[in-house]
Homo-oligomer: A and B are copies of this chain.
Amino acid sequence: MYKVKVYVTLRESVLDPQGSAVKSALHSMAYNEVQDVRIGKYMELTIEKSDRDLDEAVREMCEKLLANTVIEDYRYEVQEVVTK
């Protein structure tokens, strides 16, 4: 079994209105030291071993569904989970 952690973030060149809103909220709460906020998605996938290449499968899942590659970047980390 594998635990795959996927991080999807907006590209640097893309405006992040959600991030700006959170930044303004933090400033209104007197956290003026916050210079920038970027918000993305964090996904944890539990994937069973199969004959398919895991990296290839995860890349496909990201490119087809989990990330909008026009405006988002993605990266992922794979951990093997030892099931008792």
Contact = CB atoms under 8 A, between A and B. Distances in A.
Contact of A45 (B37, B43, B48, B52): B37
Q: What is the oligomeric copy number?
A: 2
Measured as residues with beta carbon below 8 angstroms from the partner, the interface class of chain A is 35 or more
Contacts of A19: 43
A64 B29 contact: yes
A7 B2 CA distance: 20
A21 to B, nearest CB: 11
8 contacts: A1-B35, A8-B42, A9-B42, A26-B65, A29-B61, A37-B43, A39-B41, A40-B41
Interface of A: 1, 7-9, 19, 22, 25-26, 29, 31, 33-50, 52, 57, 60-61, 64-66
